[in-house]
């Protein structure tokens, strides 16, 4: 991933979330459309997924009155891309309104793991990106320019469950059939 691609991906993650943040305030007119739908948690999240062909898919968290129906920003970006025929990815960026690098939840990690390489860069972007040099996050493990934490699904979901496990031989046992 080039420096330009990295910057474009982070910008797209902010645009995915589409609430007031660094990028929009500085460079874009206030848009009429809201992207995140997070009236219950009031915790807006944006994500952006860079596909192998260079296209970027933006996601936001879309909540539901029945909380279990919520789909996070990362999963929104992934189902957008996959349902458009993309299954090869270069990098993922995630941003919230919180001034820290916030990690994906376990559900998103499971969905990322289905489609992304173990070492694909995942950029966790603080809501106040870019943090200035000398910020208190500087020098912490994995923190890179602007306060971004760089990680991967191999790090976030070690010893993961995936398609391979379903193919393993069984020791026996019986399962009930559907009615």
Residues 76-95 that bind a second copy (CB under 8 A): 76, 78-80, 82-87
DSSP E strands in 28-158: the ranges are 45-51, 56-60, 89-96, 122-125, 143-144, 148-151
Q: Give the contacts of 57 (CB within 8 A, at least 6 positions apart).
A: 48, 49, 51, 77, 78, 80, 81, 84, 86
- Which partner, Zn ion, a second copy, none, binds residue 39 by CB below 5 to 8 Å per kind? a second copy
Within 8-47, the residues that bind a second copy by CB under 8 A are: 16-21, 31-44
**121 in contact with a second copy (CB under 8 A):** no
Is 67 annotated as ligand-binding? Answer: yes
Ligand-binding annotation for 63, yes or no, is yes
- Residue 148 CA to residue 94 CA, distance in Å, equals 10
Q: Which of 15, 74, 138, 164 is catalytic?
A: 74
CA distance between the termini of the chain: 50
User: Pattern of binders to a second copy over 59-78, x per CB under 8 A?
Assistant: xx-xxxxxxxxxxxx-xx-x
- The CA-atom distances, in angstroms, between 168 and each of 114, 115, 161, 165, 171 are 17, 20, 12, 5, 10
Shortest distance in whole angstroms from residue 46 CB to a second copy: 9
**Nearest residue (beta carbon) to Zn ion:** 72
Q: Confirm or deny that 143 is annotated as ligand binding.
A: no
Between 63 and 91, CB nearer to a second copy: 63
Q: Report whether 41 belongs to an annotated binding site.
A: no
Angle (CA) 125-126-131 rounded to 5° is 105
Q: Token pair for residue 94?
A: 């995630």
From Zn ion, a second copy, none, interface partner of 55 (C-beta below 5 to 8 A by class): none
Please indicate whether residue 155 is annotated as part of the active site.
Answer: no
Residue list 139-178, contact with a second copy (CB under 8 A): 151, 155-163, 165-166, 168-178
Catalytic residues, which ones? 74
């Amino acid at each position: 991933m080039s420096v330009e691609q990295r910057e474009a991906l982070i910008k797209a993650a902010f645009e995915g979330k589409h609430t007031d943040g660094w990028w929009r305030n500085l460079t874009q007119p206030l848009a009429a459309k809201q992207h995140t739908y997070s009236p219950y948690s009031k915790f807006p999240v944006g994500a952006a997924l860079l596909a192998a062909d260079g296209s970027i898919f933006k996601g936001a968290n879309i909540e539901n009155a029945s909380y279990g129906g919520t789909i996070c920003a990362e999963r929104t970006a992934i189902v957008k891309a996959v349902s458009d025929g993309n299954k090869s990815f270069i990098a993922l960026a995630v941003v919230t309104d919180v001034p820290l690098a916030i990690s994906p939840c376990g559900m998103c990690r499971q969905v990322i793991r289905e489609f992304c390489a173990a070492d694909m860069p995942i950029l966790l972007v603080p809501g106040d990106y870019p943090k200035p040099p000398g910020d208190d996050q500087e020098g912490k493990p994995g923190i890179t320019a602007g306060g971004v934490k760089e990680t991967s699904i191999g790090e976030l979901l070690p010893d993961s469950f995936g398609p391979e496990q379903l193919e393993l031989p069984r020791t026996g046992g019986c399962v009930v059939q559907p009615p």
